[in-house]
Every structure is written in C-alpha cells, then in structure tokens.
Homo-oligomer: A and B are copies of this chain.
C-alpha cells in the first residue's frame, strides 16, 4: 500500500548485535539501504570514508547544519555526529527501506520530526548474554564492559518509545523477524491515513 520506503531507526544495547543484524538484512534482502553518518572524529585504523562514516571537518559539518543538510545531529565526546538528509530522502523516494543506526537521543529526535519512522530496539534476552558477547569480542577489559553496560541501563530510559524490541537470540531467525516487522509495519493503520481516506470516500460515492 505504501510505495515509499520506510525510515527505520535501529538502536540497541552495546553487544546486542545491531551491526551484524543490519549487515544480515542488507545482504539477504534487496529492499534496504544503509544510511552512513557524518562525523568530525578521526577515522580509526581500518575504517573507510563512506563505509563506517563520512569523515569531514568541523567547518564542513557546521556548514551542513547551517544549510539544513542533516536530519539529526549530536555532539559526543567533543565530536559531531549526524545523518545526511539527501541520501535518506532519495532512497526513501526510490522505495528503499532506509536503516539508520543511531543512539536513543537521536532516535527520539527522528521520531519527533518523522512520526512515520519505525523505531527498533535490539536487545539480548538477558544482561548476562550481553556481558558474554562483549567479553567474547576480546577488545575490552571486563570492568570497562560492566561500566559501559551500567551506563547503558541508565541511558535506556527511552526504550518504551520504541515500537518493537528485537530480541537477538538466534541470528538468522532474528534477521527474518526484523525483516517481517519492517515490512508489516507498512500496514499499520497510522501509516496509511491516505489509503483509509481514499476507501472511505469511495464507499460514500458508490
């Protein structure tokens, strides 16, 4: 019923597997496009411009803000992060469902500006699984991980604003669930007000 794509915001606990799920969606289905954020922070080893982020200068970033070229932006540890508007809108117009990985605060900004956006929150079935996964990555010490997760709990006060929880237990099942949820979300009554008006009018005019 909706031919435009659906703007889908993905947030979640660190270690819940957001990145892997989004990669899974992109490789398994044709109808998704990934929005790449802009940032003023320096690229880390292995990061590529246009893949992890568009790396730009502070001056360029502030010009983008002034020119209204960002859907949302925030500062974090002294650096700007933001979502380029043109790419997102072009893809939506072309019928692609745009995936946007973003923190809770940015997600709620998006929801306010675009009430039709679908907000998904990725979690594991319990906290211990998060700890185990983050330890398994081997990139951080346990006490750093624990501190990060405790902060995540505090920062998670907005979860109730999300439309769906994505419980990442079995990866393949979860990718399919996520695709089903996104595709079926297009059938929500509040995303189809025009269709409702159309058929109501047709019935009156019969």
A residues with a Cβ closer than 8 A to B are: 1, 13, 121, 123-128, 130-131, 146, 149-150, 152-154, 156, 159-167, 177, 180-181, 184, 187-190, 192-193, 195-196, 198-206
Q: CB within 8 A of A184: which of B180, B201, B203?
A: B180
Closest CB-CB distance, A165 to chain B, in whole Å?
A: 5
| Complex Cα gap A164–B193 (Å) | 11
8 A-B pairs with C-beta separation under 8 A:
A1-B165, A131-B206, A150-B204, A150-B206, A162-B189, A165-B187, A166-B187, A180-B184
Closest CB-CB distance, A60 to chain B, in whole Å?
A: 36
Q: Cβ of A163: which chain B residues have Cβ within 8 Å of it? A: 188-189
| Complex Cα gap A123–B159 (Å) | 32
Q: CB within 8 A of A204: which of B153, B184, B203?
A: B153
Q: Cβ of A206: which chain B residues have Cβ within 8 Å of it? A: 127, 131, 146, 149-150
Closest CB-CB distance, A128 to chain B, in whole Å?
A: 7
Closest CB-CB distance, A191 to chain B, in whole Å?
A: 9
Q: Cβ of A177: which chain B residues have Cβ within 8 Å of it? A: 184, 187
Q: Cβ of A165: which chain B residues have Cβ within 8 Å of it? A: 1, 187-189, 192, 195-196
| Complex Cα gap A177–B126 (Å) | 29
Q: Is the CB of A127 within 8 A of B199?
A: yes
Closest CB-CB distance, A58 to chain B, in whole Å?
A: 34
Q: Cβ of A162: which chain B residues have Cβ within 8 Å of it? A: 189
Given contacts A150-B204, A165-B187, A181-B187, list 9 more A-B pairs with CB under 8 A: A126-B199, A149-B206, A152-B203, A153-B201, A159-B196, A162-B189, A165-B192, A165-B196, A184-B184
